[in-house]
């Protein structure tokens, strides 16, 4: 055997040994719902100072996949961890603003629409406190639906939201933008303002339909407007372990996106719609529920991921 082939042989056997050690079933963490060993995520260290914020868009052009539910509940779970959080309602439906118990958002004097369209309105003036300590809201209402057509004619139209958030970035640790179910100019503004995008996917038939178009949009934004934008992760929502169907859909999501899929999945439970009706995050409405704990677990997982990303 020549020297080099002996070296290769040694390298091969070392690799085989390390693979054998890594895959020893006695060592492996138990498999989670995504069929990967599920690590345990540590409690994040407390913060002594705040900001500047990581801005994250919660985005999927399909409606009803859990964007708003994820924004409010992940936001509340991050606030529980002592993080200062600003939620941005960037959907003219205003579901996040209703969901945070602000009543009818049509009654609000100032919303993100005024901020986008009127000179002299300051971001700080529009921000509202929520019932969750450490979590604020930049509300919207149906007026925002008119903004898109008007913004089309603006110079630097994709950068407007980013510019409006700049004055408050230092005040928060995370700014989460609840996007509308479309890939139009508002969503492009959100992606352009963000360092990360989090994509909820419903564990249902057609979960992947449209995802290619979403990826294309993200890539275009990365290429033309915001090189910094990273995919923070894909979140499986409305999961029901009792049905083969949702298990299969989750399997397909993991096949497509691998380690970009969060280990934490959100189960389907009626507690979310119930919490929506009372306008509270589930972490307050039913603090010990499975849903509340799932978003707490997700908060720990994303904090670890964000820490690795930055």
Output 38 or 271, the one with its CB closest to Mg ion.
Answer: 271
Q: Is 64 in the site for ligand ADP (CB under 6 A)?
A: yes
Nearest approach in angstroms of CB 178 to Mg ion is: 6
Residue pair 137/101 in contact (Cβ under 8 Å)? The answer is: no
Q: Is 229 in the site for Mg ion (CB under 5 A)?
A: no
Three-state SS letters, 51-78: CCCEEEEECCCCCCCCHHHHHHHHHHHH
Nearest approach in angstroms of CB 62 to Mg ion is: 10
Site string for ligand ADP, 291-310 (x = CB under 6 A): --------------------
Among 56, 87, 183, 238, binds ligand ADP (CB under 6 A): 238
C-alpha 211/C-alpha 233 separation (Å) is: 13
78 binds, among Mg ion, ligand ADP, none (CB under 5 to 8 A by kind): none
Joined tokens for residue 42? 């540590």
Unique residue bearing structure tokens 């009654």: 107
Q: Is 249 in the site for ligand ADP (CB under 6 A)?
A: no
Joined tokens for residue 162? 């980013």
Output 168 or 232, the one with its CB closest to ligand ADP.
Answer: 232
The strands making up 85-90's β-sheet, listed across from edge to edge, are 128-129, 135-138, 85-90, 174-179, 54-58, 196-202, 230-237
101 binds, among ligand ADP, Mg ion, none (CB under 5 to 8 A by kind): none
Nearest approach in angstroms of CB 271 to ligand ADP is: 8
Q: What angle do CA 94, 285, 75 make, to 5 degrees?
A: 55
Q: Is 68 in the site for ligand ADP (CB under 6 A)?
A: yes
Q: Is 77 in the site for ligand ADP (CB under 6 A)?
A: no
Residue 40 gets which letter from DSSP?
Answer: P
Output 123 or 130, the one with its CB closest to ligand ADP.
Answer: 130
Residue 128: which of 74, 89, 178 has the closest Cα? 89
Nearest approach in angstroms of CB 91 to ligand ADP is: 7
Query: Per DSSP, which regions of 193-246 are E strands?
Result: 196-202, 230-237
Residue 84 gets which letter from DSSP?
Answer: -
Q: Is 266 in the site for ligand ADP (CB under 6 A)?
A: yes
Site string for Mg ion, 182-221 (x = CB under 5 A): ----------------------------------------
User: Which residues within the stretch 42-101 sit at the binding site for Mg ion (CB under 5 A)?
Assistant: 67-68, 95
The backbone torsions φ and ψ at residue 86, rounded to the nearest 5 degrees and listed phi first, read -115, 125
Among 53, 79, 95, 98, binds ligand ADP (CB under 6 A): 95
Nearest approach in angstroms of CB 6 to ligand ADP is: 56
Write the CA distances from 181 to 50, 64, 93, 95, 171, integer angstroms.
Answer: 31, 9, 10, 12, 28
Q: Is 90 in the site for ligand ADP (CB under 6 A)?
A: no
Write the CA distances from 54 to 84, 171, 195, 200, 261, integer angstroms.
Answer: 11, 11, 6, 18, 20
Nearest approach in angstroms of CB 66 to ligand ADP is: 4
Among 63, 163, 258, 287, binds ligand ADP (CB under 6 A): 63
Q: Is 276 in the site for ligand ADP (CB under 6 A)?
A: yes
Output 55 or 235, the one with its CB closest to ligand ADP.
Answer: 235
Give, rounded to a whole angstrom, the gap between the first and last alpha carbons of the chain: 47
Burial status of residue 34 (CB atoms within 10 A of its CB: 0-12, 13-18, 19 or more): buried
Q: Is 73 in the site for ligand ADP (CB under 6 A)?
A: no
Q: Which residues bind Mg ion (CB under 5 A)?
A: 67-68, 95
């Amino acid at each position: 055997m020549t020297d080099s082939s002996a070296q290769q042989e040694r390298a091969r056997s070392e690799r085989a040994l390390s693979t054998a050690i890594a895959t020893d079933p006695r060592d492996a963490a138990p498999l989670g719902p995504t069929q990967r060993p599920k690590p345990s995520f540590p409690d994040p260290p407390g913060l002594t100072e705040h900001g500047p914020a990581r801005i994250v868009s919660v985005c999927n052009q399909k409606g009803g996949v859990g964007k708003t539910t994820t924004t409010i509940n992940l936001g509340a779970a991050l606030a529980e961890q002592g993080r200062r959080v600003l939620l941005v309602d960037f959907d003219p439906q205003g579901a996040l603003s209703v969901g945070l118990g602000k009543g009818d958002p049509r009654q609000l004097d100032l919303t993100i629409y005024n901020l986008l369209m009127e000179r002299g309105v300051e971001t700080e003036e529009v921000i509202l406190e929520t019932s969750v300590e450490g979590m604020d809201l930049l509300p919207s209402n149906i007026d925002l639906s008119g903004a898109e057509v008007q913004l089309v004619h603006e110079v630097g139209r994709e950068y407007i939201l980013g510019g409006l958030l700049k004055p408050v970035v230092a005040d928060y640790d995370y700014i989460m933008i609840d996007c509308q179910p479309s890939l139009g100019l508002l969503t492009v503004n959100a992606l352009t303002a963000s360092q990360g995008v989090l994509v909820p996917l419903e564990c249902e038939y057609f979960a992947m339909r449209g995802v290619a178009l979403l990826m294309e949009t993200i890539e275009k934004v990365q290429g033309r407007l915001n090189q910094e934008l990273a995919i923070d992760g894909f979140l499986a929502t409305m999961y029901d372990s009792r049905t083969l169907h949702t298990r299969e859909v989750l399997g397909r999501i993991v096949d497509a996106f691998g380690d970009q899929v969060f280990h934490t999945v959100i189960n389907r439970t009626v507690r979310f719609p119930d919490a929506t009706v009372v306008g509270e995050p589930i972490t307050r409405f039913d603090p010990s529920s499975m849903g509340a704990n799932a978003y707490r677990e997700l908060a720990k997982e994303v904090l670890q991921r964000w820490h690795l990303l930055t």
